[in-house]
Structure 1
Amino acid sequence: MSIKRIEPGARMSGAVVHGNVVYLAGQVGDGKTVTEQSRSALAEVERLLVAAGSNKAKILQTIIYLSDMSTFGEMNAVWESWIDPKNPPARATSQAALATPDYKVEFVVTAALD
């Protein structure tokens, strides 16, 4: 089976396709609030999924990291307005120290191809 790397860099690729599955690197967004960062990061998730030949209706699993669990409701409001309501993925959310203190949320997505 071939492996396709999307937007490879020195440290990581934006996404990797293997077989009929696409694995996205953790996506963080711009902005000062969890709402702004969630919107920005999910727009990047959507862009990478399309680049890989998939879409948000094909998301199998998402792992979400929050720097502060008290923002869970704020992130969920963005998430619930973004996901395909007919095809919600398996999901886990936990609190974690992210790469920099400026990051408030990170999304790690695995999806099927179209």
Structure 2
Amino acid sequence: MSLHRHLPGDRLSEAVVANGFIFTTQVPRDGNADARAQTADVLEQTDLVLAELGSDKSKVVDVTIFLPDLADFAEMNAAWDAWVVPGHTPARATVQAKLVDPNWKIEIKVIAVR
């Protein structure tokens, strides 16, 4: 089995590559931004990680989106729709969940292939 931990830390790695699949989770850098801006930020971070690991958003196969407040669903989708590659939409679930930082309006977990 092929396994690579990208930027490992004490508690988590920025991403893990296992058998050609990339697993990464991103959170907003600016907790004061609105849901649309936080989503765009998280997706931008995802783009960077995928590029560093030899992939891109057209190769995303599965996404789980965590929203503490479902009232932010439309704003999240506005940023998502601007990001996702038409014809390459991944499987996706959106879940209401309390996040670690109360200022975060979103957390996104992504699985992609290289």
> TM-score band (shorter)?
over 0.9
Distance 2:107 2:56 in 1: 18
Q: Quote how far apart the aligned CAs of 1:5 are.
A: 0.9
| TM-score of the aligned structures, taking structure 2 as reference length | 0.95
**Percent same amino acid at aligned positions?**
39
Counterpart CA distance in 1 for 2:86 and 2:110 is 17
- Per-residue deviation, 1:2: 2.2
Q: Deviations over 1:19-74 (max 9, x none)?
A: 110111x2111242101110111100011111111100000000000010011000
* Alignment-mate amino acid for residue 111 of structure 1: A
Q: Give 2:46's aligned residue.
A: 45
Residue in 1 that maps onto 2:27: 28
- How many residues were matched structurally? 112
- Structure 1 runs, 4 residues or longer, greater than 6 Å off: none
Superposition pairs of residues 95-106 of structure 1, within 5 angstroms = 95-106=96-107
- Aligned-partner Cα distance in 2 for 1:51–1:84: 19
Unaligned stretches of 5+ residues in structure 2: none
1:65 alignment partner, SS class: strand
